[in-house]
Amino acid sequence: MRRSAFDGVKIADFSWILAGPTVSTYLAAHGATVVRVESRTELDNTRIDAPHKDGVPGVNRSGFFGYINPNKYSLTLNLNSSGGMEVARKLIAWSDVVNENFSPGRMEKWGLGYEDLKKIRPDIIMVRSSIQGQTGPWTRRRGFGILAAGQAGFSEITGWPDGEPCTSYIGYCDFIAPRFCIAALAAALAHRKRTGEGVCIDTGQIEPGLYFLAPAVLDYTVNGTLLKRQGNYSPCSAPHGVYRCQGDDRWCAISVSSDDEWKAFCGVLGNQKWTEEPRFATFLERKHNEDELNRLVEAWTSVHTAEDVMRMMQDKDVAAGVVKNMRDLVEDPQLNERNHIWWLKHPEMGHFPHMGSTVVMSKTPAEPRMPAPCLGEHTEYVCRKLLGMRKAEFKSYNEAGAFE
């Protein structure tokens, strides 16, 4: 009986770092059998990155790698050896999908480009993520998601009018591009089920990233307007912002977008005198006096905790929310109740949260099955059990150095 939607879908996963593995993580959450092909000599950077268990680095001690890779097997292969390449090709023959995010050209060098893969399996689905895309004058131009956020235009518009560009502390584009890739992959799997045809999906980071900026793109192509950094301003709401609360670096977001909401907001503040002044009575007036409005709001929020501000506002149907940090998210009642975060026990790192599923499916729920893999943890399992290799064959590949 099928439990998850992608039960039985097999993925040969050559990807590494963040954007590529995010694609396979999403599918693994929904039941796909994902085999990560890793290399001991060219380690996935995230196996080296902090945070480390007990502050001690080690290839199986990174909370970065661990967090983003539940439900996956790990097979180490030396793709530069003939034995390793033979096993890789067996893995591809076994798989439905090949996932990769190397610099464009690398797979082709190994004889594993799309045309090559089709010779192994004519209906293969190949999923390729890169910064710039597989074609074009910049295709070989390397980069990472946090830099791509600059190139796509996120950094320039984020921050304060009197400040410098900002982005998030992690590769923002690494979270957008894979989503579009996954939508196409799910559609491709459905299409292949219907027609028997495979496809190659080429996702850069700038091209889908611009979809999360599309109104600003059109504002430029239509009106010649360049969106400028504007702090937490919104053209539709006032008050609208992130307000300091009690405690160290604690904040609550509040947005008031209608006259009813404004009335309710004022009620929460105990209808203080200033809330009744004509210069705040209408939306236009509040916009005109927004700086002063924000100062007055913050004078109130700063004597309350962010949680209290959120609760008091939401009780009166005013949109407000704690600006959550990692600790808040770990403890988030909504994410935990709905099993979006998966707490799994890892052989070297013990119990820790893993990236779970985002969407909740009624008939085919996403399910945690395994913690993130240790390096090469499943080399023998994959070869013997998934690929059906005989004991002697596995031994000879091993002795030939295929599994480094």
Partner 1 sequence: MVQDGLLAPLRVLDLTDEWGYLCGRVLGDMGADVIKIEKPGGDPGRRLGPFYQNHSDPQKSLYWFAYNANKRGITLNIETAGGKDLLQELAKTADAVVESFPAGYMDRIGLGYEYLCRTRPAIIYTAITPFGQSGPYSSLKGSDIVVSSMSGLVYACGDPDKAPVRIPIPQSYLFAGIDGAIGTAIAYYHREVTREGQYVDVSAQAGMYWTAGPLTHWTLRKKALKREGQFRGGLSPISRQRHIWRCKDGHVAFQVYGGGTGAKNNSRLTQWMDEKGMASDFLRSMNWEKFSLPATDQELMDNIEEPIGRFFLSYTKAELEAEAMKRDIILLTVSDMKDVLASPQLKARDYWIKVEHPELDCSITYPGPWAKLSSHGWKMRFRAPLIGEHNEDIYGKELGLSRKEMVTLKESGVI
Query: Is residue 389 a contact residue for partner 1 (CB under 8 A)?
Result: no
Task: List C-alpha distances in Å: 17 to 25, 122, 129, 149.
Answer: 12, 28, 11, 16
Q: What is the DSSP string of 46-57?
A: GGTSSPBGGG--
What crossing angle do the helices spanning 259-268 and 306-315 adopt, rounded to 10°?
130
- Pick one of 233, 274, 300, 381: the residue that binds partner 1 (CB under 8 A): 233
Question: What's at 273, amino acid-wise?
Answer: K
- Pick one of 14, 243, 280, 397: the residue that binds partner 1 (CB under 8 A): 243
> Which spans in 196-213 are helix H?
206-209
Of 174, 202, 260, 308, which residue is the catalytic one?
A: 174
Query: C-beta of 45: minimal distance to partner 1 in Å?
Result: 6
Q: CB-based burial of residue 270 (10 Å sphere; 0-12 exposed, 13-18 middle, 19+ buried)?
A: exposed
Report the residue number, 130 or 275, with the smaller CB distance to partner 1: 130
271 to 310: interface string for partner 1, x by CB under 8 A: ----------------------------------------
Report the residue number, 93 or 361, with the smaller CB distance to partner 1: 361
Longest dimension (CA), the chain: 86
| Residue indicated by tokens 């004889």 | 111
19 to 58: interface string for partner 1, x by CB under 8 A: ---x---x---x-----------xx-x--xxxxxxxx-x-
Piece of 61-69, 265-273, 375-383, 387-395 that binds partner 1 (CB under 8 A): 61-69
Report the residue number, 82 or 230, with the smaller CB distance to partner 1: 230
- Pick one of 59, 85, 157, 269: the residue that binds partner 1 (CB under 8 A): 157
Q: CB-based burial of residue 350 (10 Å sphere; 0-12 exposed, 13-18 middle, 19+ buried)?
A: exposed
HSE of 255, CA atoms in CB hemisphere, 13 A: 10
Query: Is residue 255 a contact residue for partner 1 (CB under 8 A)?
Result: yes
Q: Is 315 a catalytic residue?
A: no
Q: Determine the Cα–Cα distance for residues 72 and 52; give it in Å rounded to an integer.
A: 20
Report the residue number, 84 or 208, with the smaller CB distance to partner 1: 208
For partner 1, the binding residues in 101-120 under the rule CB under 8 A are 114
Query: C-beta of 273: minimal distance to partner 1 in Å?
Result: 26
- Pick one of 147, 269, 296, 387: the residue that binds partner 1 (CB under 8 A): 147
Q: Give the SS3 label for residue 173.
A: helix
Query: C-beta of 199: minimal distance to partner 1 in Å?
Result: 5
Question: What's at 260, amino acid-wise?
Answer: D
Residues in contact with 165: Cβ distance below 8 Å, sequence separation at least 6, in sequence order? 150, 155, 156, 157, 158, 159, 229
Report the residue number, 17 or 77, with the smaller CB distance to partner 1: 17
For partner 1, the binding residues in 160-219 under the rule CB under 8 A are 160, 163-170, 172, 175-176, 179-184, 186-191, 193-194, 197, 199-204, 206-208, 210-219
- Pick one of 36, 240, 286, 304: the residue that binds partner 1 (CB under 8 A): 240
Question: CA-based Rg of the chain, rounded to a whole angstrom?
Answer: 25
Cβ proximity of 177 and 208 under 8 Å: yes
Cβ proximity of 178 and 185 under 8 Å: no
Query: C-beta of 322: minimal distance to partner 1 in Å?
Result: 6
Report the catalytic residues: 174
